[in-house]
Amino acid sequence: MEPELWRRVEELCQRAMELDPSRRAEFLERSCGDDKEFRSKVESLLAQETRAEHFIESPALEVMGRLIASDPKLKDGEEKLIGSTVSHYRVIDKVGGGGMGVVYKAEDTELRRFVALKFLPQVLAQDAQALERFRREARAASALNHPSICTIHEIGTHEGHPFLVMEFLDGVTLKHRIAGRPLETELILSLAIEIADALDAAHAAGIVHSDIKPANIFLTKRGHIKILDFGLAKRTPILSGIGQDGGTAQSSATAEEHLTSPGTAMGTVAYMSPEQSLGKELDARTDLFSFGVVLYEMATGTLPFQGQTPAAIFNAILNETPAPPDHINNEIPPKLADMISRALEKDRDFRYQSASDIRSELKRLKRDTDSSRSATANAITASGRAMASSSAPSLAVPPGKAGKGKRALALASFAVLLVIAVVWGYFYVRASRTASKSEQKWEQLTFFTDSAVYPGLSPDGRMLTFIRGSDTFLGPGDVYVKMLPSGEPVQLTHDRLFKLSPAFSPDGTRIVYGTADPWDTWEVPVLGGEPRLMLPNASSLTWIEGGKRLLFSEIKSGMHMGVVTTDEGRGESRDVYLPAGERSMAHHSYLSPDGKYVLIANEMNEMAGVIPCRVVPFDGIGREQWVGPPGATCTTGAWSPDGNWIYLSTNEGGRFHIWRQHFPGGAPEQVTSGPTEEEGIAMAPDGRSFLTSVGTRYWTIWVHDAKGEHQMSSEGDAFATTFSSDGTKLFYLKRTGQSDAAELWSMDLTSGKSERVIPGYGIDSIFRDYAESYAVTEDGNRVAFIKKDERGVSHLWIAATDHRSSPRQLASMENEDSPLFLPNGNLVYRASEGGKNYIFTRQPDGSGRKKLLDEAVLDLTAVSPDGRWIVVWEKDDADKDHPYRTKAYPNGTGKPVMLCAACLVNWSVDGKYLVIQFGLPNEKMSTYFLPVVRERGLPDLPPEGLSGPVDLRESHRAMLPQRVDSALGPEKYSYTITSIRRNIYRIPIS
Amino acid sequence: MTDSPTHEVTQLLKAWTAGDQSALDKLAPLVYEQLHRLAQHYMAGQRPGHTLQTTALVNEVYLRLVDCGQVNWQDRAHFFAVSAQLMRRILIDFARSRGYQKRGGGLFHISLEDAPSVCSEPDPDIVALDDALKELAKVDDRKSRVVELRFFGGLSVEETAEVLRVSVETVGRDWKMAKMWLLQELSERN
């Protein structure tokens, strides 16, 4: 077509499109007259109008991405490697992929260690330029030999494809670790010092990383830093020390977010320096700015420069001053806040000029912070009073030179400490023996204002180890050791990772402890030192048979955890106890002193409910036997040294107390009682006392409104609040006295008066969580709640709130719980079936029971007030990187919507807001009230869901200490405050 | 400072705009990298979504270039124009070299579960589209550039308007008309 003709066609076409389609024919008739050819050109063009709306709306890059993804050649090539042997590396699994490299975990069959292999992606394998770049990067990265920079072992070739062999890193990226929550100051400082040190080394070699961000900073399990991906790195023009072709380097191990996450560019922008965003020449100070952004994020959990588009972020970087970090998180020392502000100076001349500058300031601050806290040094000052004056000053060794000197010092101090402890111990034992007979006094051994759990004793009974953390089963915390009775506690780990079950080695020199997900066993020397992975896939490990064999829990597959015994090299493995059900987990095991029986504690059934303890024969021959109060949750245990008694912690009667039972053939009897709770048992070698973690927990309910925070309960434990749909009443559960079952109450918010809703009926918890144990209909006339039968199986009950009829149980064989109501009064709930959990529905009279979703789920999270969406929490075991996901399923047909990986989700009572929370309860939780788009019933969310609070704008956000139980909107919501305090006590046995 | 990589890439960009083919070869890996990342997403069953994702990717290419080179931030328009051409060329070469084209051109479906919900229109054969676009350039150059910028460069209507120095309304009209023209052209070829 000639351009001139086209102009006429187009013009007519445009004008026709402005008209209603019904009038177009007449218009063309008039305009074209007899020129049939011209008219048909216009008409055929107009015919494309509807199709054109969606045509090439998704950009070419995406189209090509889909093409590549559907190309079977690529997938095959990459998957073929797994299981094969490359050189002397056995490829185990793919751990990350994309960009300029696909990374596999492999085993070095000669050196018997794990390594990471990085191959060029198939897309680039034939590309000569890419190959050359790959090699250059390898060379440059290996030039940086520093403990905090990922090490390149070698570069090899496999079937013509070059690959890098790198150190395998086990842990998470800093991005993962931060996840929208501020880190502890102590941790920030220790990580920051390592980052500064690595940057200093790179800068000294003339290499600027230029892409410093949390996704490129790896946090190993041992709590150390590794900087990854020198992919953008380049030599500074001033200090070009390596040859011309050494310009870039790339190293990356399991930084999956960096390699594959959406919005990577956006992520990168937020950490850029002003000079970088202006495209100016870069130098080392650029990294220091980005480092400042990382520090800011570690300190506050949020980014200093934010915006919806790269341009908006650039604008913030160039023109805006972020809020001082200590205004956002008041736990940040002002000195650190000042340092961060200085690193974020827009003009690089005003910033720190070198990484070593910032490192020395960080170290100074760490020293000042440490000295005001308990540390190895203070242990000596406190327990060895007379010695204090001579040993304390020598601790002023500059931290940079600490290494061997500090270790030697620690050893020397420890010897002193032992002498003192023995002397003290002698007097103590004399004193306490006389005291214990007359007074039966509990002796407090730790004095934390927060919480210490999981006591463990050294074989001689003189040293105590424990986890300083608030969860008696599993939670973030660190391992401590303490000389008994009165040494200062010494912190041995510094990573706040999830831990459980610390125990001494038979010779008393090491402490082993478990970590969770992966469930591994680590060991750390009692005298302090680097924690080391002792045994993967092993938890709650103890030595048996005089130290020759091990007893521990092992994941058999998926979520099935059993108890096994092996020799010290993990040979001669034998299953001791495998719980029934492929999602059941037996967490703790204790061998009887005669070696014949194993006490199993904290056994979770398929509903994650902890069941009573049991005793099983060690050799597998003979019968199993339940011990302790039937039906009660049993979490920890121990044997008396003579093997005649089993000690247990169970929640029979509502609170966790220590019970014991003569074995074999006794009845359970309660040992401790009262308002406190006791869990974790370490038996003294002489059998005259045991150590346990004694704690108090209180729950109070609160309402937040425009006027502030209001405590609504004043007596008993109150929790699990729900507003009535009109907002005039607050339902809540309350426990008083010793009863485990909670009663449902409702409070009139105008008068403040409370009354029981279903008098005489107690409501049971789901694994100590009551949040999902009841629901009220929109009209407030009916309540659904759960009660457990004598077997511990939970059932749904329905009650009318007008008390006219008595509550009824809905018949079920297996567990049914987490009831929620649809607007039509039908129930949606979770039920187990064949070892998996599913979402079911039934009518309030119990009829019409049917499965609502075909997919197995972990948990039912929420149902939207309009009944359109059902939110569940799922785990996809096939997705190793991000197995957990919270998804909204339409109630009916349609596609599910990804909400987030790990977050709490609920609707406001009126359905106008979706409340999303990130973070752990008891710590600060980023809480968002996202307005719901009415047509959809959900707020606007990124299609791949929220990866964390950083995806969301600050508006509608609140930092709350607790999860929101129920919300009327952003201005009014209710929550429960838990106050926990635990310390280790010695309790004499009478 | 003539040996710095910064300088090198600036030279490459200049060379490319001046028609030096080797510059293209050197820059293509950057685009491949993005492509691969995107493909990984689809393979993992994730949907990268709509404009935000693509803008982010295009921006990343941009940032890499800016980062490596001394492209002036103020001269965004120039960069966008160059990067769209670059993308077009690289993607078309890539598709040809891998045989990602349907005999006779036209449109084809990708057998990915999620793809249909991304856009109700099947993905185009971009090699055929490229040919059609060349034809369009002969009849109406500005419209072909709008398509190049929007489809290959991933630019928004506003950004396209900025590059071409025309109004947003004009870009909107051009974009719609160009798509109709291309669809008709492709259907004629079939």
A128, exposed or middle or buried, with CB in 10 Å at 0-12, 13-18, 19+?
Answer: exposed
Any A CB within 8 A of B186 CB: no
- Closest residue in chain B to residue A260, using alpha carbons only: B37
- Of the pLDDT bands very low, low, confident and very high (cuts 50, 70, 90), residue A2 is confident
Residue A670 CA to residue A915 CA, distance in Å, equals 43
Answer whether A482's CB lies under 8 Å from A417's CB: no
The average confidence (pLDDT) of chain B is 64
Contact B5 A99 (CB under 8 A): no
For residue A428, the model assigns a pLDDT of 32
- Of the pLDDT bands very low, low, confident and very high (cuts 50, 70, 90), residue B103 is very low
B149: Cβ contacts below 8 Å, ≥ 6 apart: B80, B81, B84, B155, B159, B160, B163, B164
Answer yes or no: do A639 and A730 share one domain.
no
For residue A611, the model assigns a pLDDT of 87
- The beta-carbon neighbor of B29 closest among A56, A129, A895 is A129
Answer yes or no: do A783 and A900 share one domain.
yes
Residue A280 CA to residue B71 CA, distance in Å, equals 9
Of A987, A988, A984, which Cα lies nearest the Cα of A455?
Answer: A984
Contact A121 B36 (CB under 8 A): yes
* Stretch B97-120: mean pLDDT: 41
- Of the pLDDT bands very low, low, confident and very high (cuts 50, 70, 90), residue A112 is confident
**CA A639 from centroid of its chain's CA atoms:** 33
Output DSSP code: residue A546.
Answer: G
Answer yes or no: do A35 and A78 share one domain.
no
pLDDT for residue A738 is more than 70: no
SS3 state of residue A80:
helix
A981, exposed or middle or buried, with CB in 10 Å at 0-12, 13-18, 19+?
Answer: middle
In this structure, what token pair is assigned to residue A661?
Answer: 């039972």
SS3 state of residue A680:
strand
- Of the pLDDT bands very low, low, confident and very high (cuts 50, 70, 90), residue A729 is very high
- The beta-carbon neighbor of B154 closest among A61, A97, A260 is A61
Answer yes or no: do A111 and A13 share one domain.
no
Contact B124 A100 (CB under 8 A): no
Residue A41 CA to residue A34 CA, distance in Å, equals 13
- The beta-carbon neighbor of B40 closest among A97, A127, A269 is A97
- The beta-carbon neighbor of A123 closest among B6, B36, B154 is B36
CATH code at position A724: 2.120.10.30
Any A CB within 8 A of B190 CB: no
Position A493 in a domain: yes
SS3 state of residue A369:
helix
Question: Which chain B residues are Cβ-neighbours of A47 within 8 angstroms?
Answer: 184
Position A171 in a domain: yes
For residue A800, the model assigns a pLDDT of 92
Residue A563 CA to residue A544 CA, distance in Å, equals 13
**Site of tokens 């977050």:** A903
For residue B101, the model assigns a pLDDT of 56
Answer whether B181's CB lies under 8 Å from A7's CB: no
Answer yes or no: do A635 and A776 share one domain.
no
Long-range contacts of A472-476 (CB under 8 A, 24+ apart): A472/A635, A472/A636, A472/A656, A472/A679, A472/A680, A472/A693, A472/A695, A472/A982, A473/A500, A473/A587, A473/A602, A473/A635, A474/A498, A474/A499, A474/A500, A474/A516, A475/A499, A476/A920
Give the domain-ending residue among A57, A79, A100. A57
Helix axes A334-343, A355-371, angle to 10 degrees: 170
- Nearest chain B Cα distance for residue A806, angstroms: 50
Identify residue B83 by its one-letter amino acid code. Answer: S
Answer yes or no: do A670 and A714 share one domain.
no
A33 — alpha (psi -120 to 50), left (phi > 0) or beta? left
DSSP calls for B86-100: HHHHHHHHHHHHTT-
Strand partners, A159: none
Output DSSP code: residue A151.
Answer: P
Position A871 in a domain: yes
Range with lowest mean pLDDT among A106-115, A462-471, A543-552, B175-184: A106-115
Position A429 in a domain: no
Contact A69 B42 (CB under 8 A): yes
Residue A310 CA to residue A266 CA, distance in Å, equals 6
Position A494 in a domain: yes
- Closest residue in chain B to residue A3, using alpha carbons only: B139
Answer yes or no: do A716 and A624 share one domain.
no
pLDDT for residue B67 is more than 70: no
Range with lowest mean pLDDT among A61-75, A934-948, B7-21: B7-21
Answer yes or no: do A623 and A726 share one domain.
no
In this structure, what token pair is assigned to residue B129?
Answer: 């589209």
Share of chain B above pLDDT 90, in %: 17
Give the domain-ending residue among A340, A370, A400. A370
Contact A48 B179 (CB under 8 A): yes
Of A410, A447, A445, A404, which Cα lies nearest the Cα of A428?
Answer: A445
Contact A263 B46 (CB under 8 A): no
The average confidence (pLDDT) of chain A is 80
Global pTM value = 0.42
Contact B43 A46 (CB under 8 A): no
Position A293 in a domain: yes
DSSP calls for A428-458: HHHHHHHHHHHH---EE----SSBEEEEEE-
Contact B117 A895 (CB under 8 A): yes
* Stretch A272-289: mean pLDDT: 82
Of A986, A988, A982, which Cα lies nearest the Cα of A469?
Answer: A982
Of A622, A620, A671, A666, which Cα lies nearest the Cα of A650?
Answer: A671
Preferred mutation among A40, A45, A48, A102 to probe B, highest tally of B CBs within 10 A: A48
For residue A605, the model assigns a pLDDT of 78
Enclosing domain of residue A654: 452-695
Contact A269 B59 (CB under 8 A): yes
For residue A371, the model assigns a pLDDT of 66
Residue A259 CA to residue A279 CA, distance in Å, equals 24
**CA B156 from centroid of its chain's CA atoms:** 12
- Of the pLDDT bands very low, low, confident and very high (cuts 50, 70, 90), residue B176 is very high
Counting one residue from chain A and one from chain B, the pairs whose CB atoms sit within 8 A come to 240
* Stretch A878-897: mean pLDDT: 82
Identify residue A512 by its one-letter amino acid code. Answer: V
Could you write out the three-class secondary structure of A851-874? ECCCCCECEEEEECCCCCEEEEEE
In this structure, what token pair is assigned to residue A874?
Answer: 């799922």
Pairing of strands A972-988, A689-705: antiparallel
CATH code at position A203: 1.10.510.10
Active site residue A370: no
Position A82 in a domain: yes
Neighbours of A893 (CB within 10 A): 5
Identify residue A706 by its one-letter amino acid code. Answer: A
pLDDT tens digit sequence for A832-881: 887 778 899 999 998 999 999 988 887 888 999 999 999 998 877 777 66
Give the total residue count for chain B. Answer: 190
pLDDT tens digit sequence for A193-243: 999 999 998 888 877 887 888 888 988 888 889 887 765 454 443 322 222
Of A304, A302, A186, A270, which Cα lies nearest the Cα of A926?
Answer: A302
pLDDT tens digit sequence for A688-726: 999 999 998 778 899 999 888 888 987 778 888 999 999
Give the total residue count for chain A. Answer: 990
pLDDT tens digit sequence for A118-149: 876 665 566 565 666 566 666 666 777 788 88
pLDDT for residue B189 is more than 80: no
* Element containing residue A5 per DSSP (H, E): helix A3-18
Range with lowest mean pLDDT among A229-243, A426-440, A461-475, A702-716: A426-440
For residue A267, the model assigns a pLDDT of 45
DSSP E strands, A222-272:
225-227, 234-235
Answer whether A715's CB lies under 8 Å from A732's CB: no
Answer yes or no: do A34 and A125 share one domain.
no
Question: Which chain A residues are Cβ-neighbours of B40 within 8 angstroms?
Answer: 69, 97-98, 259-260
pLDDT for residue A266 is more than 60: no
Share of chain A above pLDDT 90, in %: 32
> Can you give the C-alpha Rg of chain B in angstroms?
17
In this structure, what token pair is assigned to residue A816?
Answer: 């049914």
Answer yes or no: do A460 and A567 share one domain.
yes
Residue that wins the pLDDT comparison between B121 and B84? B84
Pairing of strands A161-167, A498-504: unpaired
A428, exposed or middle or buried, with CB in 10 Å at 0-12, 13-18, 19+?
Answer: middle
Q: Which of residues 133-172 of B touch A (CB under 8 A)?
A: 138-140, 147, 150-154
Of B87, B10, B120, which Cα lies nearest the Cα of A280?
Answer: B10
Q: Give the active site residue among A76, A93, A170, A211.
A: A211
A261, exposed or middle or buried, with CB in 10 Å at 0-12, 13-18, 19+?
Answer: buried
- The beta-carbon neighbor of B38 closest among A1, A62, A266 is A62
Position A401 in a domain: no
Of A189, A734, A796, which Cα lies nearest the Cα of A494?
Answer: A189
Of A709, A597, A703, which Cα lies nearest the Cα of A964?
Answer: A703
pLDDT tens digit sequence for A407-418: 333 333 333 333
Answer whether B122's CB lies under 8 Å from B108's CB: yes
Range with lowest mean pLDDT among A291-300, A333-342, A944-953: A944-953
Answer yes or no: do A626 and A725 share one domain.
no
pLDDT tens digit sequence for A525-542: 988 888 999 999 999 999
**Site of tokens 């109008």:** A49
User: How many domains does chain A fold into?
Assistant: 4
Give the domain-ending residue among A34, A57, A80. A57
